[in-house]
Structure 1
């Protein structure tokens, strides 16, 4: 299979159509169509259902996309291996929890960008469960998740630990406060929420109703307004931009520390860029 055809296939997969894929690849639509048709011809199967409003992947495309990402990644590694003196270039597609992306990553990524301006970093945020799926499906080269995982297809490295606190509105005495009815957080699959649910279960209290928000600012602002509580790393609450109008309450010792781990697929060797970034992340306190 031609590597450029695979790049075209993935662009159509990600963008949902030929027009958007052509814009991403900086080429004409006819070139995208021809490359995609050539790949389908060589494979002997259609990869997309053509619809008036876009392209829908076929089951064959669902299977191919993981292999395509792996092949392109290995091709990039091969290119780097024969040019050891060259600085890393290309793209680095990573995932992170929202809290880690907001507090821990900015200075590290800024330092990395100054050292390697030729590397394009694309950072996707999500819950630990979503990020794990992204790595397993080859959509992310790696991700920072909360807690340690046990999966045969993943390699993980503990980078640092977070001290967790219960973030509550002023006047709240803790989870014993019967006025607290809601847990404010991100989508289902957040490892921090699972930890708070375990705490509630130990107390004999029913799980709190989850109210989902898309940003730290929204969560903490609504906590300050008295809508509920959240479980967050202490570093988030102590940051000058996030801790206004809320109070920190202690978490039981066995639930209070959460390792932040970097995960990647076992069959995807890390690129030179990723190795350097991991070395920098290992220095985060």
Structure 2
């Protein structure tokens, strides 16, 4: 087994095809087939289920790809560390939800790049569950997600706690009146959004099961629809006050049982951390006077 074997294995897993993997690896299909067969013989396990249309990972394949990614990640980090041993450099990919990307990422990026100019920092937004999966599968170095997170594989640093509020147009008088509407609309992100999930939980707890979800793909879309009176939403109070204070919006406070949400920075316990990741994590360590605001 060598590093190239692992790269071929990952290419087949990613493409679902020996032919496509051969193209990616700039080799011939027969070589890909031979290397996978050698891996399977060495591991004494079948890594792929083969059909006429596609190949897919077996249970053993799913287990092995975690190790393959870990090994590849560690080697790449080692190369970057050695190449830039006199300075902190490399690449970091940080995950976050849409609202964090729009409102917090620029400040985080600016603060971190000022301190560590040789690190290439990029952000990816997605749903909470996808961000957690991507950290676990080595696709993200770290991610800002809502807490708590129940995984023995992840470290967590508490970042902050936000107050959540119902957001409506100026025409609404009370939450009770809103929830009694026969044609209630909620304006939300797609399934997987933590704010949407919290709002739906609130509605269910109040016995509201008849409502229409109007799905937006941006925070601006949500705000515009709510301001126009087309529905209600649930968002952090700080976000509304800081960025939308001049808009025709009204906020309603919630009970203490459901009115807060905590954000944590998560990252894997099991792999050696690069100097770049250590530096990013350090920005949020307790007591760090140079911490980046969030």
The number of residues matched between the two structures is 279
Residues 231 and 47 from structure 1, CA distance in 2 versus in 1: closer, same or farther, beyond 3 angstroms? same
Offset, 1:173:
2.6
**Distance in 1 of aligned mates of 2:125 and 2:139:** 13
Establish whether residue 65 from structure 1 lines up as the match of residue 68 from structure 2.
no
Q: Which has the larger radius of gyration?
A: 2
**Distance in 2 of aligned mates of 1:283 and 1:29:** 40
Offset, 1:34:
7.8
Q: Does structure 2 conserve the Cα–Cα contact (< 8 Å) formed by 1:164 and 1:234?
A: yes
Alignment of 1:1-285 (within 5 A): 1-7=1-7, 9-10=9-10, 13-14=13-14, 30-31=26-27, 36-37=32-33, 39-44=35-40, 56-59=55-58, 61-79=61-79, 85-176=85-176, 177=178, 178-179=180-181, 181-206=184-209, 208-240=211-243, 244-281=247-284, 282-285=291-294
**Distance in 2 of aligned mates of 1:51 and 1:99:** 43
Residues 216 and 11 from structure 1, CA distance in 2 versus in 1: closer, same or farther, beyond 3 angstroms? farther
Offset, 1:235:
3.1
RMSD, aligned CA: 3.5
Offset, 1:263:
1.6
Residues 203 and 48 from structure 1, CA distance in 2 versus in 1: closer, same or farther, beyond 3 angstroms? closer
Give ranges in structure 1 of 5+ residues lacking alignment.
Answer: none
Offset, 1:117:
4.7
Offset, 1:58:
3.4
Offset, 1:171:
0.8
TM-score (norm 1): 0.78
Residues 5 and 121 from structure 1, CA distance in 2 versus in 1: closer, same or farther, beyond 3 angstroms? farther
Offset, 1:19:
9.6
TM-score (norm 2): 0.76
